[in-house]
Protein backbone atom coordinates (compact mmCIF):
# COMPACT_ATOMS: atom_id res chain seq x y z
CA UNK A 1 0.00 0.00 0.00
CA UNK A 2 1.74 3.22 -1.09
CA UNK A 3 -1.06 5.82 -1.42
CA UNK A 4 -3.42 6.99 1.28
CA UNK A 5 -6.30 9.41 0.86
CA UNK A 6 -7.46 11.32 3.91
CA UNK A 7 -11.02 12.59 3.63
CA UNK A 8 -11.06 15.62 5.89
CA UNK A 9 -14.23 16.71 7.57
CA UNK A 10 -15.73 18.78 10.38
CA UNK A 11 -17.15 16.00 12.52
CA UNK A 12 -19.99 16.12 15.02
CA UNK A 13 -20.80 14.15 18.19
CA UNK A 14 -22.86 11.09 17.34
CA UNK A 15 -24.46 11.23 20.80
CA UNK A 16 -25.56 14.27 22.85
CA UNK A 17 -23.33 13.51 25.85
CA UNK A 18 -22.49 16.79 27.59
CA UNK A 19 -18.75 16.20 28.03
CA UNK A 20 -18.33 15.30 24.37
CA UNK A 21 -20.35 18.28 23.18
CA UNK A 22 -18.39 20.71 25.38
CA UNK A 23 -15.04 19.31 24.22
CA UNK A 24 -16.22 19.49 20.61
CA UNK A 25 -17.24 23.13 20.99
CA UNK A 26 -14.02 24.06 22.79
CA UNK A 27 -12.00 22.74 19.89
CA UNK A 28 -14.05 24.77 17.41
CA UNK A 29 -13.85 28.02 19.37
CA UNK A 30 -10.15 27.66 20.05
CA UNK A 31 -9.38 26.90 16.39
CA UNK A 32 -11.10 30.18 15.48
CA UNK A 33 -9.63 32.24 18.30
CA UNK A 34 -8.21 34.78 15.85
CA UNK A 35 -11.75 36.11 15.35
CA UNK A 36 -11.26 37.91 18.66
CA UNK A 37 -8.28 39.65 20.21
CA UNK A 38 -7.05 37.16 22.79
CA UNK A 39 -4.20 38.05 25.13
CA UNK A 40 -2.14 34.91 24.60
CA UNK A 41 -2.87 31.20 24.31
CA UNK A 42 -4.23 30.69 27.81
CA UNK A 43 -6.64 33.57 27.36
CA UNK A 44 -7.79 32.09 24.04
CA UNK A 45 -8.35 28.70 25.66
CA UNK A 46 -10.29 30.22 28.53
CA UNK A 47 -12.46 32.16 26.08
CA UNK A 48 -13.07 28.92 24.13
CA UNK A 49 -14.15 27.15 27.33
CA UNK A 50 -16.45 30.04 28.19
CA UNK A 51 -18.10 30.05 24.77
CA UNK A 52 -18.39 26.25 24.75
CA UNK A 53 -20.05 26.16 28.17
CA UNK A 54 -22.53 28.81 27.08
CA UNK A 55 -23.37 27.18 23.76
CA UNK A 56 -23.47 23.54 24.93
CA UNK A 57 -26.97 23.34 26.46
CA UNK A 58 -28.71 24.54 23.30
CA UNK A 59 -26.59 22.31 21.07
CA UNK A 60 -27.27 19.29 23.27
CA UNK A 61 -30.99 19.99 22.86
CA UNK A 62 -30.50 20.06 19.09
CA UNK A 63 -28.68 16.73 19.09
CA UNK A 64 -31.31 15.19 21.34
CA UNK A 65 -34.05 16.40 18.99
CA UNK A 66 -32.39 14.83 15.94
CA UNK A 67 -31.14 11.69 17.71
CA UNK A 68 -27.46 12.59 17.44
CA UNK A 69 -25.55 13.67 14.37
CA UNK A 70 -25.26 11.28 11.39
CA UNK A 71 -22.36 13.25 9.89
CA UNK A 72 -19.54 10.86 10.80
CA UNK A 73 -21.49 7.82 9.64
CA UNK A 74 -22.27 9.44 6.30
CA UNK A 75 -18.65 10.54 5.91
CA UNK A 76 -17.51 6.94 6.44
CA UNK A 77 -19.85 5.80 3.67
CA UNK A 78 -18.43 8.43 1.32
CA UNK A 79 -14.93 7.12 1.99
CA UNK A 80 -16.18 3.67 0.99
CA UNK A 81 -17.62 5.09 -2.24
CA UNK A 82 -14.28 6.71 -3.07
CA UNK A 83 -12.26 3.58 -2.35
CA UNK A 84 -14.64 1.46 -4.46
CA UNK A 85 -14.44 3.91 -7.38
CA UNK A 86 -10.63 3.94 -7.30
CA UNK A 87 -10.43 0.15 -6.98
CA UNK A 88 -12.64 -0.14 -10.06
CA UNK A 89 -10.20 2.13 -11.89
CA UNK A 90 -7.33 -0.15 -10.94
CA UNK A 91 -5.75 1.84 -8.12
CA UNK A 92 -4.59 0.25 -4.87
CA UNK A 93 -5.29 2.83 -2.20
CA UNK A 94 -6.50 3.12 1.36
CA UNK A 95 -8.93 5.80 2.51
CA UNK A 96 -8.99 7.38 5.96
CA UNK A 97 -11.51 9.64 7.63
CA UNK A 98 -10.09 12.53 9.63
CA UNK A 99 -12.32 14.97 11.53
CA UNK A 100 -11.31 18.40 12.70
CA UNK A 101 -13.32 18.37 15.92
CA UNK A 102 -14.42 14.81 16.78
CA UNK A 103 -12.94 11.32 16.61
CA UNK A 104 -11.42 10.04 14.44
CA UNK A 105 -9.33 13.20 14.39
CA UNK A 106 -7.12 14.22 11.48
CA UNK A 107 -4.06 13.19 13.48
CA UNK A 108 -5.64 9.74 13.93
CA UNK A 109 -6.00 9.39 10.16
CA UNK A 110 -2.38 10.46 9.63
CA UNK A 111 -1.11 8.02 12.23
CA UNK A 112 -3.09 5.17 10.68
CA UNK A 113 -1.73 6.01 7.22
CA UNK A 114 1.83 6.01 8.54
CA UNK A 115 1.33 2.68 10.27
CA UNK A 116 -0.03 1.23 7.00
CA UNK A 117 3.20 2.16 5.23
CA UNK A 118 1.73 4.87 3.02
CA UNK A 119 4.32 6.59 0.87
CA UNK A 120 2.07 9.32 -0.52
CA UNK A 121 -0.78 11.06 1.30
CA UNK A 122 -3.53 13.05 -0.42
CA UNK A 123 -5.76 15.30 1.66
CA UNK A 124 -9.28 15.83 0.34
CA UNK A 125 -11.50 18.14 2.43
CA UNK A 126 -15.15 17.18 1.95
CA UNK A 127 -16.17 20.83 1.87
CA UNK A 128 -17.07 21.65 -1.74
CA UNK A 129 -16.96 25.43 -1.21
CA UNK A 130 -13.53 26.49 -0.02
CA UNK A 131 -13.29 28.44 3.23
CA UNK A 132 -10.41 29.34 5.55
CA UNK A 133 -11.78 27.55 8.64
CA UNK A 134 -12.73 24.43 6.69
CA UNK A 135 -10.70 23.44 3.62
CA UNK A 136 -7.62 25.51 4.39
CA UNK A 137 -7.47 24.79 8.11
CA UNK A 138 -8.15 21.07 7.59
CA UNK A 139 -5.14 20.79 5.26
CA UNK A 140 -3.03 22.84 7.68
CA UNK A 141 -3.93 20.34 10.39
CA UNK A 142 -3.10 17.41 8.10
CA UNK A 143 0.41 18.72 7.44
CA UNK A 144 0.86 19.65 11.11
CA UNK A 145 -0.01 16.06 12.09
CA UNK A 146 2.54 14.73 9.59
CA UNK A 147 5.20 17.07 11.00
CA UNK A 148 4.32 16.08 14.58
CA UNK A 149 5.06 12.46 13.73
CA UNK A 150 8.30 13.49 12.02
CA UNK A 151 7.08 11.42 9.07
CA UNK A 152 8.81 11.72 5.72
CA UNK A 153 5.93 11.36 3.26
CA UNK A 154 4.79 13.25 0.16
CA UNK A 155 1.66 15.24 0.94
CA UNK A 156 -0.69 16.75 -1.63
CA UNK A 157 -3.92 18.59 -0.91
CA UNK A 158 -7.03 19.64 -2.77
CA UNK A 159 -9.01 22.64 -1.54
CA UNK A 160 -11.92 24.05 -3.58
CA UNK A 161 -13.69 21.68 -5.96
CA UNK A 162 -17.28 22.87 -6.28
CA UNK A 163 -16.75 23.38 -10.03
CA UNK A 164 -16.57 19.66 -10.72
CA UNK A 165 -19.28 19.16 -13.41
CA UNK A 166 -20.64 15.90 -12.01
CA UNK A 167 -20.96 17.37 -8.54
CA UNK A 168 -23.00 20.25 -9.94
CA UNK A 169 -25.24 17.73 -11.68
CA UNK A 170 -25.63 15.69 -8.47
CA UNK A 171 -26.84 18.76 -6.59
CA UNK A 172 -29.13 19.94 -9.36
CA UNK A 173 -30.72 16.52 -9.80
CA UNK A 174 -31.24 16.19 -6.05
CA UNK A 175 -33.34 19.34 -6.30
CA UNK A 176 -35.32 18.38 -9.40
CA UNK A 177 -36.01 14.89 -8.04
CA UNK A 178 -37.30 16.36 -4.79
CA UNK A 179 -39.48 18.88 -6.62
CA UNK A 180 -40.93 16.12 -8.81
CA UNK A 181 -41.53 13.85 -5.82
CA UNK A 182 -43.55 16.54 -4.07
CA UNK A 183 -45.22 17.89 -7.23
CA UNK A 184 -43.60 21.29 -6.77
CA UNK A 185 -42.72 23.93 -9.35
CA UNK A 186 -39.87 26.17 -8.23
CA UNK A 187 -40.91 28.74 -10.85
CA UNK A 188 -44.47 29.00 -9.58
CA UNK A 189 -45.08 32.58 -8.39
CA UNK A 190 -46.47 31.20 -5.12
CA UNK A 191 -43.26 29.26 -4.41
CA UNK A 192 -40.01 30.71 -3.07
CA UNK A 193 -36.84 28.71 -3.63
CA UNK A 194 -34.06 29.41 -1.12
CA UNK A 195 -30.44 28.32 -1.16
CA UNK A 196 -29.15 28.22 2.43
CA UNK A 197 -25.37 28.30 2.76
CA UNK A 198 -23.20 27.95 5.84
CA UNK A 199 -22.28 31.46 6.92
CA UNK A 200 -18.80 32.78 7.57
CA UNK A 201 -17.47 35.72 9.60
CA UNK A 202 -16.88 38.72 7.33
CA UNK A 203 -13.42 38.94 8.92
CA UNK A 204 -12.36 36.09 6.64
CA UNK A 205 -13.78 37.81 3.56
CA UNK A 206 -11.95 41.01 4.44
CA UNK A 207 -8.74 38.98 4.68
CA UNK A 208 -9.24 37.75 1.11
CA UNK A 209 -11.41 34.64 1.32
CA UNK A 210 -13.58 34.22 -1.78
CA UNK A 211 -16.09 31.97 -0.03
CA UNK A 212 -19.05 34.26 -0.71
CA UNK A 213 -18.09 34.41 -4.39
CA UNK A 214 -17.92 30.62 -4.59
CA UNK A 215 -21.35 30.32 -2.95
CA UNK A 216 -22.88 32.84 -5.33
CA UNK A 217 -21.49 31.27 -8.50
CA UNK A 218 -22.35 27.75 -7.37
CA UNK A 219 -25.97 28.73 -6.68
CA UNK A 220 -26.20 30.34 -10.11
CA UNK A 221 -24.99 27.21 -11.86
CA UNK A 222 -27.05 24.73 -9.84
CA UNK A 223 -30.18 26.84 -10.32
CA UNK A 224 -29.53 26.96 -14.05
CA UNK A 225 -29.04 23.19 -14.25
CA UNK A 226 -32.21 22.65 -12.22
CA UNK A 227 -34.21 25.03 -14.41
CA UNK A 228 -34.90 27.47 -11.57
CA UNK A 229 -35.41 30.99 -12.91
CA UNK A 230 -35.44 32.91 -9.62
CA UNK A 231 -34.15 32.10 -6.15
CA UNK A 232 -32.99 33.60 -2.85
CA UNK A 233 -29.68 33.08 -1.04
CA UNK A 234 -29.30 33.20 2.71
CA UNK A 235 -26.57 32.26 5.20
CA UNK A 236 -26.76 30.18 8.36
CA UNK A 237 -24.69 32.18 10.80
CA UNK A 238 -23.62 31.46 14.37
CA UNK A 239 -23.84 34.40 16.77
CA UNK A 240 -21.68 32.96 19.54
CA UNK A 241 -19.20 35.79 19.13
CA UNK A 242 -20.22 39.41 18.72
CA UNK A 243 -18.76 39.75 15.24
CA UNK A 244 -20.32 40.44 11.81
CA UNK A 245 -21.26 37.50 9.58
CA UNK A 246 -22.39 37.06 6.01
CA UNK A 247 -25.81 38.42 5.12
CA UNK A 248 -28.69 37.98 4.72
CA UNK A 249 -29.37 35.54 7.53
CA UNK A 250 -31.46 32.63 6.21
CA UNK A 251 -33.98 32.91 9.03
CA UNK A 252 -34.53 36.64 8.43
CA UNK A 253 -34.78 36.12 4.69
CA UNK A 254 -37.36 33.35 4.97
CA UNK A 255 -39.41 35.24 7.57
CA UNK A 256 -39.83 38.09 5.08
CA UNK A 257 -41.04 35.87 2.24
CA UNK A 258 -44.71 36.25 1.37
CA UNK A 259 -45.20 33.02 -0.60
CA UNK A 260 -47.56 30.13 -0.10
CA UNK A 261 -44.68 27.70 0.12
CA UNK A 262 -40.92 27.81 0.73
CA UNK A 263 -38.41 25.26 -0.59
CA UNK A 264 -34.93 25.31 1.00
CA UNK A 265 -31.77 23.64 -0.31
CA UNK A 266 -28.71 23.51 2.05
CA UNK A 267 -26.38 24.27 -0.83
CA UNK A 268 -22.99 24.17 0.93
CA UNK A 269 -23.49 21.01 2.98
CA UNK A 270 -22.55 17.49 1.93
CA UNK A 271 -23.89 15.66 4.99
CA UNK A 272 -27.01 15.78 7.08
CA UNK A 273 -26.02 17.33 10.40
CA UNK A 274 -27.24 19.71 13.06
CA UNK A 275 -27.23 22.63 10.62
CA UNK A 276 -29.71 20.81 8.38
CA UNK A 277 -31.70 18.53 10.67
CA UNK A 278 -32.07 21.06 13.48
CA UNK A 279 -31.34 24.59 12.23
CA UNK A 280 -33.44 24.16 9.08
CA UNK A 281 -35.93 21.35 9.71
CA UNK A 282 -36.84 22.46 13.23
CA UNK A 283 -35.69 25.98 14.07
CA UNK A 284 -36.22 27.61 10.68
CA UNK A 285 -39.59 25.94 10.31
CA UNK A 286 -40.74 26.99 13.79
CA UNK A 287 -39.35 30.54 13.78
CA UNK A 288 -39.68 31.74 10.19
CA UNK A 289 -42.56 29.85 8.58
CA UNK A 290 -46.12 31.11 9.04
CA UNK A 291 -48.82 28.61 9.88
CA UNK A 292 -50.41 29.10 6.47
CA UNK A 293 -47.14 28.46 4.58
CA UNK A 294 -45.87 25.11 3.34
CA UNK A 295 -42.24 24.28 4.06
CA UNK A 296 -40.02 21.86 2.18
CA UNK A 297 -36.32 21.08 2.57
CA UNK A 298 -34.25 19.32 -0.09
CA UNK A 299 -32.30 16.38 1.40
CA UNK A 300 -28.51 16.33 1.09
CA UNK A 301 -27.47 13.83 -1.62
CA UNK A 302 -24.79 12.45 0.71
CA UNK A 303 -25.29 8.86 -0.46
CA UNK A 304 -25.38 9.52 -4.22
CA UNK A 305 -23.03 6.87 -5.61
CA UNK A 306 -21.70 9.34 -8.17
CA UNK A 307 -19.85 11.07 -5.35
CA UNK A 308 -17.36 8.22 -5.40
CA UNK A 309 -16.52 9.07 -9.02
CA UNK A 310 -16.36 12.81 -8.20
CA UNK A 311 -13.85 12.24 -5.41
CA UNK A 312 -11.93 9.75 -7.58
CA UNK A 313 -11.62 12.33 -10.35
CA UNK A 314 -10.24 14.85 -7.87
CA UNK A 315 -7.47 12.61 -6.53
CA UNK A 316 -6.67 10.70 -9.73
CA UNK A 317 -3.93 13.05 -11.03
CA UNK A 318 -1.96 12.38 -7.85
CA UNK A 319 -2.38 8.61 -8.22
CA UNK A 320 -1.67 8.31 -11.92
CA UNK A 321 1.19 10.78 -11.68
CA UNK A 322 0.17 13.16 -14.44
CA UNK A 323 0.08 16.93 -14.35
CA UNK A 324 -2.98 18.04 -12.31
CA UNK A 325 -3.36 20.99 -14.67
CA UNK A 326 -4.70 18.52 -17.25
CA UNK A 327 -7.82 18.26 -15.05
CA UNK A 328 -7.93 22.07 -14.70
CA UNK A 329 -6.25 22.07 -11.29
CA UNK A 330 -4.12 25.11 -10.45
CA UNK A 331 -2.08 26.21 -7.48
CA UNK A 332 -4.52 27.22 -4.77
CA UNK A 333 -4.54 30.91 -3.85
CA UNK A 334 -6.48 30.43 -0.61
CA UNK A 335 -3.76 28.09 0.63
CA UNK A 336 -0.67 29.10 -1.28
CA UNK A 337 1.44 26.15 -0.20
CA UNK A 338 3.33 23.75 -2.49
CA UNK A 339 1.26 20.70 -3.38
CA UNK A 340 -2.10 22.38 -2.72
CA UNK A 341 -4.31 22.47 -5.81
CA UNK A 342 -7.86 23.59 -6.53
CA UNK A 343 -10.37 24.14 -9.33
CA UNK A 344 -11.04 27.75 -8.29
CA UNK A 345 -7.79 29.63 -8.81
CA UNK A 346 -7.99 32.19 -11.66
CA UNK A 347 -5.60 31.95 -14.55
CA UNK A 348 -2.68 34.31 -14.15
The pLDDT value given to residue 35: 77
- CA-to-CA dists, residue 208 to 22, 104, 127, 316, 319, angstroms: 31, 31, 18, 29, 31
Domain end residue (candidates: 297, 316, 331) = 297
What residues of the chain score a pLDDT lower than 50?
Answer: none
The pLDDT value given to residue 172: 98
Tens digit of each residue's pLDDT (9 = 90 or more) over 163-185:
999 999 999 999 999 999 999 99
Same domain as 178, residue 59: no
Same domain as 291, residue 183: yes
The pLDDT value given to residue 71: 96
Alpha-carbon distance 257 to 102, whole Å?
Answer: 37
Number of domains in the chain: 2
- CA-to-CA dists, residue 122 to 4, 112, 114, 208, 343, angstroms: 6, 14, 13, 25, 16
The pLDDT value given to residue 74: 97
Asked, for residue 86, whether it belongs to a domain, the answer is: no
Domain end residue (candidates: 48, 66, 84) = 66
Domain of residue 245, CATH code: 3.40.50.1400
Alpha-carbon distance 93 to 311, whole Å?
Answer: 13
Asked, for residue 304, whether it belongs to a domain, the answer is: no
Asked, for residue 238, whether it belongs to a domain, the answer is: yes
The pLDDT value given to residue 347: 63
Domain enclosing residue 26, as ranges: 18-66
Asked, for residue 338, whether it belongs to a domain, the answer is: no
- CA-to-CA dists, residue 78 to 84, 180, 288, 307, 308, angstroms: 10, 26, 33, 7, 7
Amino acid sequence: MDTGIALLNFGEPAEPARDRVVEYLERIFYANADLEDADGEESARERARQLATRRAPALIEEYEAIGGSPLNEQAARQAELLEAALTERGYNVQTYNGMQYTEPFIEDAVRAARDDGVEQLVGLPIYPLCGPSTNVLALDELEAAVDELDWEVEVNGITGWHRHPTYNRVRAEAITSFLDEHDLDANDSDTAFVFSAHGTPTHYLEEGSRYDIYVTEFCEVVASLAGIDSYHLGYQNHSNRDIPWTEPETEDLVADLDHDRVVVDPVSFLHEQSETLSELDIELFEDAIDEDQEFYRVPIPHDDERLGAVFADLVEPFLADFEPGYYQFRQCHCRDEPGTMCLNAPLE
